[in-house]
Amino acid sequence: MGMKKKTFMAAAFYLLCFLSLLVEGFDRSDFPDSFLFGTATSSYQIEGAYLQGNKELSNWDVLSHIPGKIDDSSNGDIADDHYHLYMDDIELMHSLGVNSYRFSISWSRILAGKLVLFLADLFVHRAKNQTLCIKYKYGGWLNPEIQKDFGYFAEVCFREFGDRVKYWATFNEPNVMIKRGYLVGTYPPLHCSAPFGECLSGNSSVEPYVAAHNVILSHGIAVQIYKKKYQAKQGGRIGIVMSATWYEPLRNLTNDWVATKRLLAFDVPWFLDPIIFGDYPSEMRQILGSNLPIFSSKDKKKLRYKMDFIGVNHYTTLYVRDCLYSPCEVADFNGNAFTYTTGERNGIPIGTPTAMPTFYVVPHGLEMMVNYIKERYNNMPMFLTENGYAQGVSNYTTVKDFVNDLDRVDYLNKYLGMLLKTIRNGADVRGYFIWSIMDNFEWLYGYTLRFGLYHVDFTTQARTPKLSAMWYKEFLQGSDSLLKAD
């Protein structure tokens, strides 16, 4: 048998094995025609060019240069060099067949960089959904003054780009930003107090809730500006994006069931209840008392204009143990909720572990999370704004290992199938975005985790499609497109 024929047979077998993973009884045609399928990125994680375009330093520019803060001692100075390679990256998205792209605007690049040509060009070629970012000054989110500044930043974006952006999100994962920044102190501005962390300043019992209050009111101001001045003529929609982990009781005990409900309230409803209903969840009031701010009549006026959708970033499900009635030895990420979270019960993982700590493959958690938000917020339109799978990096990992990401294909396939189930059961979900189009700087993990559909060589900046990119393309365009591409 000739070498050419052997190669063809091997390729055919490989393709058949790959396509066999796609047979789950659904495809793109099962979703509504108007459904948005896309990929997601974040400005600091991909752009690089941190001193170009008259950009000021962001809080992550500063943090990533502090020794010991990033796992691999890396930073986002270059990252994917998307600032210079954005046209190539847009073509990667076009080749997949996505109809939308979710990305973020950095405050430090917009207001310092005077609306640089880079962003204007990017909007011309691909702009469907937008998330706003912030920087810290004069005490950052602890100072009510930031509400006015955020409103100004938002209006600059609405005015300059609103004719091309149809979906705006005021904040991405403010619940993570606040917990990491003001409770455990691992994110900017590095505020915390014992027993949650060792920081130079901060008060973990008070500051998270003051900062969150200002975030919520800043969101309200941005929504008000958009609704009053821009929405009618631009025809877009505005919402907010929340990190949404699903939680289940560790033990079949009443205290753990109550603790699970309590922790859920301390997460997504912490922000959405005030925005939608006008006040914080009762579970938070009962625990925090006077440490939880009160919405004044002036505050409530800032929240009178209602948003149009909820963005949901969902990756994982965890177990919850009560720490209110049976104290836990370890203070964790959710300390003020008096809970402890874990991915294991009696040594058995809740789902298949991934390279990202606390991220497990638990597809039914997506269904539970979507239904929870659906029921709590009267089935407000939702977008699954992030969902993805982490690969780990080691001294022995090769490019071939990254490219043959069958585990990611399996993960995305299962989670998309579960999302379709929720839609068929009445959830008003209108879009799905994979995190991420390409490997990038993953915050405190640096480049030790890879979530991309495309592998990135951070030395040469070469982008290589992984199996998951081929899978997504096949899902969106059909198997004929995949066969032709090969």
Query: What's the rounded Cα separation, in Å, for the pair 126 and 100?
Result: 8
- Residue 17 inside a domain? The answer is no
User: Each residue's pLDDT tens digit in the chain (486 positions)?
Assistant: 443 444 333 333 344 444 444 445 788 999 999 999 999 999 999 999 999 988 888 899 999 999 999 999 999 999 999 999 999 999 999 999 999 999 999 988 887 643 434 444 444 444 333 334 333 456 889 999 999 999 999 999 999 999 999 999 999 999 999 999 999 999 999 999 999 999 999 999 999 999 999 999 999 999 999 999 999 999 999 999 999 999 999 999 999 999 999 999 999 999 999 999 999 999 999 999 999 999 999 999 999 999 999 999 999 999 999 999 988 887 677 879 999 999 999 999 999 999 999 999 999 999 999 999 999 999 999 999 999 999 999 989 999 999 999 999 999 999 999 999 999 999 999 999 999 999 999 999 999 999 999 999 999 999 999 999 999 999 999 754 443 433
Beta strand pairing call for 167-172 and 237-243: parallel
Q: Distance between CA 179 and CA 425 in Å, rounded?
A: 33
Domain encompassing residue 358: 35-485
Whether 149 is in a domain gets the answer yes
pLDDT for the residue 330: 73
- Single out the catalytic residue among 207, 283, 367, 386: 386
Residues 221, 223, 227, 233, CA torsion sign: positive
Q: How far apart are CA 57 and CA 59, in angstroms?
A: 7
Cα–Cα distance, 352 to 275 (Å, whole number): 35
Asked whether residue 65 is domain-assigned, the answer is: yes
pLDDT score for 479:
56
Q: Is 386 a catalytic residue?
A: yes
15 falls within a domain: no
Domain count for the chain: 1
CA atoms within 13 A on the CB side of 475: 30
> pTM for the full model?
0.91
Q: What's the CATH number where 344 sits?
A: 3.20.20.80
* Domain annotation covers residue 18: no
Query: What pLDDT is recorded for position 137?
Result: 55
C-beta separation of 416 from 405 below 8 A: no
Q: Is residue 248 part of a domain?
A: yes
Q: Which entry of 173, 207, 367, 442 is annotated as an active-site residue?
A: 173
- Residue 20 makes CB contacts below 8 A (sequence gap 6+) with none
- pLDDT the model gives residue 10: 37
Please report whether residue 40 resides in a domain: yes
Residue 24 lies in a domain: no
Beta carbons of 303 and 275 less than 8 angstroms apart = yes
Cα Rg, the chain, nearest whole Å: 22
The string of DSSP codes covering 95-131 is: HHT-SEEEEEE-HHHHHHHTS-HHHHHHHHHS-SEEE
Question: Is 50 within 8 Å of 77 (Cβ atoms)?
Answer: yes
Is 56 part of the annotated catalytic residue set?
no
The number of residues in the chain equals 486
User: Both tokens of residue 293?
Assistant: 């701010």
Give start and end residues of each alpha helix (H) in 352-435. Answer: 363-376, 399-403, 406-424
Which DSSP symbol is given to 307? P
pLDDT of 139 reads 80
